[in-house]
Structure 1
Amino acid sequence: MILLSEMRGSVLLLRLNRPERRNALSMALCAALVAGLRAAEDDDAVAAVVLAGEGAGFCAGGDLEERRLLADDPAAWQARATLADAVLAAPGAMAKPVVAAVHGRVVGMGASLMLGCDMVVAAEDALFTWPEARHGIWPALVMPQLLRHLGPKDAFEVLATGRMLDAAEARALRLVNRVVAPDALLEEACALAAASAAYGPESLRGIKAMIDAAGVR
C-alpha cells in the first residue's frame, strides 16, 4: 500500500509509503492521499490527522520520473496537474486539524504539502529545500505556500538558490511549529493534533476560514 493508515486514539496517522522513491508524490500517491484525507473528514471517529512519511525522509517532492514519462501525453499531464493541486489544497480544506510530522529530506512539492497542513512538527534531522529551479521546473505549484509563509524576499532566495534549510532555521522562519528529537516525532505530532481538536471541527473551520481570508495560510 502506498498510503498507510493507523488510528492512534482519535488521531488518524497517514504515512506516505514509497520509501524506495523517497515518498515522491506520484499520481497514485496523490490520489490515495486526497481520498484518505476526505474520508477522515467524513469519519466521526477521527478528530485530527497526522501526516508522516515512511523511510529515510518525509517526501522527495513530485515524482520526476513520472513527470518525464508523461511529458508527451497532454491529457495525462493535465490530470497530474489537477491531482497535484488537489493534494496541496486538501489539508487546508478540512475542518479537522492536520499536522505534518516531518523528518529527513522534505523537498519541493513535499515541503509545500507540509506547509499546507495546519501545523508542522519537525525532527531535528529534517532538511528543507525547494529545488525546482535546478530541475528547470517553473515553481507554480509551490510558490503560493512559500509566499504566504516567507514573503517575497525569502521565498525568492530559497527558490533561486535551492539551498537547504535545517530544522532550526525552518523554525526561525516559522515554517514549522516545533522541533523535536526524531524518536519523539510521532508522539509529539499526535499529541499536538489531539490537543488542537479539543473544541471540535466547527470551531476549527471558523479559524481556518479566517486565516484563509487573511491570505496567510
Structure 2
Amino acid sequence: MSAPELVLRETLGSVRRLTLNRPDRRNALSVELLRELVAALEEATDDPGISVIVLRGAGKGFSAGFDLAAGYTGPRTIWTDRERLRRTNRALDEVFNTPLPVIAQVHGFAIAGGADLALHCDLLVCARDARIGFPPVRNLGVPPTNMWLYRLGPQLAKRMLLTGDSVTGAEARRLGLAIESHAPEALDGAVLALADRMGKVGREMLIGNKHVLNRGIDLMGRATLARIAETEDAVAHTAPPALAFRERVAEIGLAPALRERDAAFAPDPPGFAERHAD
C-alpha cells in the first residue's frame, strides 16, 4: 500500500486548494510534508489556469506545529540545531515568496510552527473559535522566523510572545492578525468567495502587486530577522527550562508535559484582544 499524500490538491476554477494531510498527527510539519507543500505550491504557480492558492488542514485543525523528530538524525548541538532551523525556515520562505497569493484557512488550531506557516501566507482567514499562538516561548525557545512582528507590530507581538498566550480567531481578526473570521461551518465558503474575488484580477497583476508588497516587507528586515531568530532559538534550546522540559517529556510523554506546563497559565486571559480594540 502506498503512503497517503501529505498535501492534497484540488482545482476549483482558478483556485488551487491545498490541504495538509496528517490529521492523525494534528498536521505536524515534518520535513517530508514541507517538501511536498513546496512542490504543490510550485505546481500551482506553473499552472496558467491558477490565480490563487488556499492552504488549509485536514481533521481537527490547521497545524499543531513542527514535527521536530521527523527526518533529522545525528547528534544534536547548537550548530546542528541552527542548521535544522535554517532548512525548515527555507520552506517557510518558499511559502512567503510563492508568486501567487496564498490564503491560509485556519480552523481548530494554528499553534507554534503551525502559526508560523499561516503567517507566511498572504492572508489569514479563520474560524471564530480557532486558537492561534506560540506557547513554546514559555519554555522551549524563540519563534524561529518571527513574522509576528510584521503582522501585529512590536507591542502586541511582545504581548503574545512574552506570555505564550493564544488568541481566538475572532480576537485575531480584531487585532489585525487575521483579515476575516467566520463561524466554522461558514469558513469554506467564505474563503472560496474571497479567493474567487481575487481570481477576477489578472494573474499578472496579482503576481506583480504581491511581489512589490513582499519586497516592502523584506526591506523592513524580514529575512534578516529570521536569521537572528534561528540563532536565538537554537541557543534557547540549551537553556535549563528547555532541557528540563525534554527530560519531562521523556518521563511522562509530550501531551502530559505540555498540559503540565500550560496549567500554570490557565485560565486564558479574559479577552486581551477586546481591550486592545476599544
TM-score with structure 1 length normalisation? 0.89
AA at the equivalent of 2:89 = D
Aligned CA RMSD, in angstroms, stands at 2.3
Partner of 1:20: 24
Give deviations 1:149-200, integer Å, cap 9, x for gaps: 1122211221121112011210111111111111221221122112112222
1:84-163 correspondence to structure 2 within 5 Å: 84-141=88-145, 143=146, 145-163=147-165
For residue 143 of structure 2, give the secondary structure of its aligned residue in structure 1.
coil
Unaligned runs of 5+ in 1: none
Count of matched residue pairs: 214
Q: 2 CA distance for matches of 1:117 and 1:27?
A: 19
Q: 1 CA distance for matches of 2:34 and 2:6?
A: 10
For residue 28 of structure 1, give the secondary structure of its aligned residue in structure 2.
helix
1:3, 1:16 within 8 Å by CA — same for their partners in 2? yes
AA at the equivalent of 1:200 = G
The 1:127/1:183 distance shift into structure 2, 3 A limit, reads: same
2:21, 2:27 within 8 Å by CA — same for their partners in 1? yes
1:23, 1:53 within 8 Å by CA — same for their partners in 2? yes
Give deviations 1:27-82, integer Å, cap 9, x for gaps: 00110101110111111122211000001110001114338x64726798566434
> Which of structure 1's runs of 4+ aligned residues deviate more than 6 A?
none
1:19, 1:56 within 8 Å by CA — same for their partners in 2? yes
Q: 2 CA distance for matches of 1:101 and 1:78?
A: 29
Q: 1 CA distance for matches of 2:119 and 2:204?
A: 22
2:89, 2:144 within 8 Å by CA — same for their partners in 1? no
Provide the identity percentage: 38
Specify the structure having the higher radius of gyration (Cα): 2
Cα distance, 1:130 vs structure 2: 0.6
Unaligned runs of 5+ in 2: 223-278
Partner of 2:51: 47
1:77-88 correspondence to structure 2 within 5 Å: 80-88=84-92
Partner of 1:56: 60
Partner of 1:201: 203
